[in-house]
Structure 1
Amino acid sequence: AEARAALAEARDRLARDAVPPPPPKARNRPDPAFEAAYLARERLAKEGAELLDRWAPVIEARALVAEGKAAQALPLAQGVTLDEPRLRADLMNAVRAGLPAAEQAKLPAPAQLPTRHDLLARLPKSIVLAFLMESLPQAERAEDLPRYKAGAVSAWSGWDIDPRTDGVKVTFRHNGTAPAAVEEMALLRAAEAALAAGKPGMVVLDRKDLRQMLVQTYNGVPTGAATPAGFSTELEVRFVDAASGGGGDGYGGGWRVLDAAAVRAALAPAYPARTAER
């Protein structure tokens, strides 16, 4: 029952998020960036709906097996189209186990599914260790996080803010922290700028994330391998009068609008020593 409810909720949420934006006023030209964002959202919503359709028979078959209705679950399990061999085999084995012996005999032999332990046991320890280290998050300490302070962007670190008519372009670059921290610092600076301008909401119109690499050259010719030299994020932000959920100057019922105060409240504690505009 919970899985069915979760699937229904996912469909409803997907439908709500894909609602077309309100038509532009006659005197206003359509915003190309806004239209592109909606088209991308519409495409993703379609792909999401197709994926939910492919998962639906899996969820329903599992629920029927749990209810003791394996015979009803069998055609659903046989029609699963997900490209997940282990999932399909596990589902068929569960359905088979709930059928009478006479019905089980009519089906192909149950699949023998190797466990995760079996798969790992076949690999050299060096490869297992490499997989483990790759899966771990990048170590990050509070003292290593960049400080939120004013300063023009240099070759290595700092942020820059370029005022626009109704917003800002914020750039933040740092050579000694994770890309997520760089992204958050840029968003925090944009939120501070929105609040300083008396605007409770903001819309990210464009975003660029870059990874810097350092290459040594001799007479313009690289002399060695490139080494990581930090990350940068550039945000093109428009300020709006409504916070999230409040309309947002025609931005699709607010689904693109970020609450600037909420952004600051969430991110400011992580980046101390900031000289915020008030």
Structure 2
Amino acid sequence: MQNQSHQNITPRNEIFLSEGISIFPELGEIIFDSKKIRISPNNMRVLKVLLVNSQQVVSRKKIFDSVWKNQIISEDTLTRCISDLRSAFKSVDSNKKLIETIPKLGYRWIARATKENIEWNDEKIENDIDNEFTSTKLKIKKPDKNSSLSNWWLVTFALLFITLVTSVWQTSKVFDRQIIRIALMPMQNDAVSQERIKRTIELAIKDSLLKTDRIRFLSSQAINSNRLDLYPYLAREYAIEWIIEGNISSEGKNTKITINLVDARTALVEYSFSSISSKENTQELEQSTIDLIFEIKRNLLPN
């Protein structure tokens, strides 16, 4: 039989504590000495694997299996995640060395890490409120009915307001983490005759990806292609995660379409997809476009 005192206790969030640092995996945040740093979802998943196995060597294979199970990911992706995490912790405390590279073996979170759950005991809170009201009523010898009613409404309104604000805040956090922000760069082409193909592909990519509830595009008006640091700038100013860039080129009687998925923070190409079709076969070209969009979706939305 289940212990009744635990029936209404629900974990709302898990926290890892290590070296005075608080890590909130679900919120994607680390806090140290009132400094708050945001961590990307993939980096946080890597960090969580290290924290769960703190003070132990974790192999690269184990991290890949835990974070990118059944996905084809380059080795550089994990190396960059570790580099990002080190930079994040260095920004909150430059004296702390927390992630150690063990050559040919993997990585290790050096310090001891403990996990705690923030719990909400609804039954206990209700009892505390009842006790507080009982205590208050005992102290008042001659209560004013109108005053008591007014106070009751005031307390009720305050509790409802706090609950509403908390719910909105948590919902916005979850929603914010789920949205994938993308910038679609104008495709490059080497012939005027390819302009129609270019516009068709760009519109098809936008139309297909916007039908999902997790992908949003940056307005083309916000993209200044003259900047030398354009991709990192978009990541920094607009929280863009991915850049989609493409190229259309002629190869004899065929048209080659190449689409790249670029990490906005590093400007590194993470995925590249190519398709070759006959210039005269419109149906083949349309199928190539569909196949490319499918590959983009599969890599942006692996789940």
Structure with more of its chain in strand, by fraction: 2
- Normalised by the length of structure 1, the TM-score is 0.26
- Normalised by the length of structure 2, the TM-score is 0.24
* Greater relative contact order (Cα < 8 A, sep 6+): 1
